[in-house]
Amino acid sequence: MGGGNSMEARDWSFDVRVGGRDIAKGKFHNGPVSRYEATDTGIVEHSRIATIYDMWLDRIHTSAPMALLEFDTIDERTRFTHVDRSVFFDRLRADSDFGIGRRC
C-alpha cells in the first residue's frame, strides 16, 4: 500500500487460492481512505493468477477491474507481467476533495 510515510496501513490480508479474498485498506495522510477488495478467480501454479477486484476512495466505489498476474521463468529469473482491465465509475470530479484533477 504505497510504503514510506505516504499511507497509514489499516487492513491487510491475502488468501491466495481460487475463491480467496484479498483486502488492503489504508489512509493517505490528510486524505482519503483507499480500500482494495479482490477475489482470486483462477490460479495456475507458478504461472498465473486471475483476480477481480473493487476499489474505493473513502466510501466512493471508484472502479471494478480484473487483472491477470503472470510469472515466467527466463534464464533463472522471473519476469512478472501485470495486465489490468478496468471499469471506472463516474463519481470523482476535478473539484473533488481528493484532488484527482479530472473525471474518471
**pLDDT tens digits, residue range 11-50?**
889 999 999 999 999 998 878 899 999 999 999 999 999 9
The per-residue pLDDT of the chain, averaged, comes to 84
% of residues, the chain, pLDDT over 70: 81
- What pLDDT shows up at residue 10? 86
CA distance 58 to 36: 11
% of residues, the chain, pLDDT over 90: 61
C-alpha cell at 103: 473525471
- What pLDDT shows up at residue 83? 95
**Whole-prediction pTM value?**
0.72
Q: What pLDDT band is residue 75 in, cutting at 50, 70 and 90? A: very high
DSSP state string for 59-76: TEEEE--EEEEEEEEETT
Could you state, in order of their start, the residue ranges of all structural domains in the chain? 7-85
C-alpha cell at 47: 504461472
User: Cβ neighbours of residue 104 under 8 Å, at least 6 residues apart?
Assistant: 62, 63, 88, 89, 90, 91, 92
- Across residues 59-79, what is the average pLDDT? 93
Which class is domain 7-85?
alpha beta
Q: What pLDDT band is residue 100 in, cutting at 50, 70 and 90? A: very low
